[in-house]
Amino acid sequence: MLMFLYSFFIAIFYVESTITSRDPICNSLQYTGAFVSNATGKTLYSYAFDCGISVNPNNSTFPNKLRITNYERWSSNPSKIYQAAPLIFAYPGVMNQCPKMNETCFIDFPNTYSMMFYPLMLNGTLANYESNARPFISNGNIFDGYYGTLMDPNKVNNFAWNDPYGSIKYKQAVKCTNFYYINVPEDNYGNCINFKSVTTVTDSVQNTTVTLNANYVTTFDGFNVTITNFTSSPIGFSYIHGPNILYWQGIGGTTKNPIQNYSIGYYSTQNYQIEWTLDLSLPGYYSYPRLIVGELIQRNRIFYKNDNIPYTVSDPCFKLKYVTSYSKNATVKTEFCCTLFETK
C-alpha cells in the first residue's frame, strides 16, 4: 500500500512538472493595399501578395528566408497607374528588391524588423509607398515590431493601419495567414527576475574590438536597465542600447561616459518578445547597427528564449555568435544570462 501511494505521488509530481501549453507562432503574411482618392472616395489601385517565412538554420547571418508570391493587382487606369518596379523588402540600412515583378521572389533576411515599399506610378509620379507595418522576423517567426506583441489568431492579427498621403488614402492590412503551434513548458520553477548581458564585437579588417555589459532588473511594470561597462579599441565609440521595438526607447553613451540607466514599461499580462539590441558607431568613420545582444520572450508571465526554452538554473543563458549582415568581417558574440531567480 505504501509503495502504491509513493508511486501515485511520484506520478502526480511528474505530471505537474511537465505541464505545457500550446502557443501559436506566425510564419506567413498577406499584404493588401488600396490607394483611394480622398476627393471622390474611389479606389485608384489595389494590390495583394503573400510573404512566407522559413528558417535557415545553417546561416547565422541570414537565418530567415522570405518567399514572396501570389501577386494580385488592379488599376482603374493601367496606362497611368501601375506598379513601376519590383517590391522592396528592407531592413535598417539595406534595401532588398526582388529581381523581377510578379515572379516568386526569395530574399535572405537577418533577425530584425522588415519594411515593405511598393513602387507605384501614379499619374506621372513615381513613389515607393511605404507600408506602416513593422513585422519583426526572428528565426522563421514573426511578431509585431512596434510593441513586441506575439501574434494570436484569436486576438491580435494585423500589423498595419490606413495612412493619408495628401490627396490619397493608403488603405492597408498585413495579416498573419498561417500559424503553427509549439509546446511551451509551464513547469513550477522560479521565474528569472534579473539578467546580465556581455557582448563583444570584433572586426579584423577595421582592427576593432568593442565590449558592452548590461544588467536588467525586472520590475512590476517593466525593466530597469543599467549599462555597467563599455570599452572600445580604437577609443571614441558611442552606443545606443535598447529593445528592438519601435515604441520603446533605449539610451546612448560613449567610452567617456559609459554608465547609463533607463527604464521601459510593458503590460505584465501581455505575451511579447524583446530582442535587446545595440547600435555602435565611431563618429565620422564606421558603424555597426542593430546588433542583437539578448532575447526575452514572455509567455503567460514566464520568460523564455528560442521560442519555448525557459530560463532555468540549469540552463540560464541565451548565447549567440554570428557575422553581421552588412560586414563579413564583423563578428558578434553575446551571452544573455539570468543571474537571479525568484523563490518558489
- Tell me the C-alpha distance between 29 and 40, whole Å: 31
The DSSP bridge partners found for residue 200 are 211, 333
Please, which pLDDT band fits residue 189 given cuts at 50, 70 and 90? low
Q: Is 204 left (phi over 0), alpha (psi -120 to 50) or beta?
A: alpha
**Which grid cell sits at 151?**
501574434
Please, which pLDDT band fits residue 155 given cuts at 50, 70 and 90? confident
Helix or strand or coil: residue 2? Answer: helix
pLDDT tops 60 at residue 10: no
The confidence score (pLDDT) of residue 52 equals 97
Alpha helices by DSSP H, 242-287: none
- Tell me the C-alpha distance between 149 and 219, whole Å: 19
The confidence score (pLDDT) of residue 340 equals 95
Most confidently modeled range among 76-85, 91-100, 153-162, 303-312: 76-85
Please, which pLDDT band fits residue 267 given cuts at 50, 70 and 90? low
The confidence score (pLDDT) of residue 9 equals 41
Please, which pLDDT band fits residue 119 given cuts at 50, 70 and 90? very high
Half-sphere exposure of 63 (CA within 13 A, CB side): 17
The pLDDT of 29-47, averaged and rounded, is 96
Q: Convert 71-102 to b/e letters by CB count within 10 Å (16 or more is b).
A: bebebeeeeebebebbbbbbbbeeebbbeeee
Percent over 70 (pLDDT), the chain: 92
The pLDDT of 141-165, averaged and rounded, is 87
Please, which pLDDT band fits residue 247 given cuts at 50, 70 and 90? low
List, in order, residues 6 or more apart from 46 with CB less than 8 Å away.
32, 33, 34, 35, 73, 74
Name which residue leads in pLDDT, 263 or 11. Answer: 263
pTM score over 0.85: yes
List, in order, residues 6 or more apart from 139 with CB less than 8 Å away.
55, 63, 64, 111, 306, 307
The confidence score (pLDDT) of residue 325 equals 84
37, 167 in Cβ contact below 8 A? yes
294, 197 in Cβ contact below 8 A? yes
Please, which pLDDT band fits residue 12 given cuts at 50, 70 and 90? very low
Other Cβ atoms closer than 10 A to 279:
18
134, 126 in Cβ contact below 8 A? no
Helix or strand or coil: residue 298? Answer: strand
- 202-231 residue pLDDT tens: 998 899 999 999 999 998 888 999 999 999
The confidence score (pLDDT) of residue 158 equals 85
- Tell me the C-alpha distance between 85 and 50, whole Å: 17
pLDDT tops 80 at residue 14: no
pLDDT tops 80 at residue 5: no
The confidence score (pLDDT) of residue 300 equals 83
- 276-293 residue pLDDT tens: 999 999 998 999 988 999
Other Cβ atoms closer than 10 A to 14:
9
* Strands, sheet with 238-243, edge to edge from the N-terminal-most edge strand: 251-254, 238-243, 272-282, 286-299, 302-305, 309-310
Name the one residue in this structure whose C-alpha cell is 511605404: 130
List, in order, residues 6 or more apart from 171 with CB less than 8 Å away.
33, 34, 35, 36, 162
Of the candidates 310, 312, 278, the one whose C-alpha atom is nearest the C-alpha of residue 296 is: 310
Give the Å distances, CA to CA, from 198 to 77, 105, 111, 296. Answer: 57, 37, 19, 15
Of the candidates 342, 297, 337, the one whose C-alpha atom is nearest the C-alpha of residue 215 is: 337
Helix or strand or coil: residue 3? Answer: helix
- Tell me the C-alpha distance between 293 and 233, whole Å: 19
48, 74 in Cβ contact below 8 A? no
Name which residue leads in pLDDT, 268 or 125. Answer: 125
pLDDT tops 70 at residue 42: yes
- Tell me the C-alpha distance between 146 and 90, whole Å: 16
